[in-house]
């Protein structure tokens, strides 16, 4: 065996300690430091994305609740409800001059539902009368209806009076009935 002097042993131990410290730093400390730096850079971005996702989730849940509320209102609507007579009585209550009122059935937008569309042409109404009609329609608990389109024009001879065309949509639940031909044997 080789005899090492005290000085050589100290240098040997120092080199072994230095290599061990460098290896520990290179294998564990430096990758952890790099990962921490990376996370410190990425975390604010991910937090912003999380806030955005939470906001979108809240919007989505609110939309789902609105859809469920509308479906509930449609289900509660009386089965024999007719939009046209309802709107006729509503325009009479509001003392509006109706030029035209026409009902059409729209193609179903969703399975299990049909839509009725009524187009109302109003002549010589004030803005407050028009707003009153829309408010009464919105506040009515009898029906589920929404304004599809609203076109307002000034009358040529009178600047305080308006002509308006309103399309009102009303969904209705359709019960799909399937008739089966069952004969006893």
Mean pLDDT of 13-22: 94
Confidence of residue 19 (pLDDT cuts 50, 70, 90): very high
What does the mean pLDDT of the chain come to?
Answer: 84
Distance between CA 78 and CA 82 in Å, rounded?
9
Distance between CA 85 and CA 142 in Å, rounded?
12
In which residue are the tokens 């009898």 written?
Answer: 142
- Listed ranges 55-59, 137-141, 158-162, 175-179; the one with the highest mean pLDDT: 55-59
Distance between CA 150 and CA 130 in Å, rounded?
10
Confidence of residue 179 (pLDDT cuts 50, 70, 90): very low
Mean pLDDT of 53-74: 89
Task: State percent of the chain over pLDDT 70.
Answer: 88
Cite the beta strand spans of 49-134 per DSSP E: 98-106, 113-125
Please indicate whether residue 137 or residue 77 has the higher confidence score (pLDDT).
137
Distance between CA 133 and CA 152 in Å, rounded?
14
- Which of 109, 122, 126 has its CA nearest to residue 150? 122
Mean pLDDT of 40-46: 94
pTM: 0.56
- Which of 120, 121, 123, 122 has its CA nearest to residue 158? 123
């Amino acid at each position: 065996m080789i005899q090492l002097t005290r000085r050589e042993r100290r240098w040997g131990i120092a080199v072994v300690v230095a290599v061990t410290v460098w290896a520990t730093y290179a294998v564990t400390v430096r990758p952890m430091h790099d990962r921490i730096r990376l996370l410190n850079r990425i975390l604010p971005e991910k937090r912003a994305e999380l806030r955005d996702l939470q906001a979108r989730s809240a919007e989505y849940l609110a939309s789902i609740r609105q859809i469920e509320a509308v479906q509930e209102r449609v289900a509660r609507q009386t089965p024999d409800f007719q939009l046209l007579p309802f709107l006729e009585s509503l325009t009479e209550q509001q003392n509006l001059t109706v030029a035209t009122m026409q009902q059409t059935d729209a193609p179903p937008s969703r399975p299990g539902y049909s839509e009725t569309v009524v187009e109302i042409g109003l002549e010589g109404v004030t803005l407050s009368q028009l707003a009153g009609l829309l408010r009464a329609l919105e506040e009515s608990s009898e029906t589920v209806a929404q304004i599809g389109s609203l076109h307002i024009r000034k009358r040529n001879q009178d600047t305080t009076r308006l002509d308006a065309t309103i399309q009102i949509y009303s969904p209705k639940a359709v019960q799909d009935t399937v008739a089966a031909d069952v004969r006893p044997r």
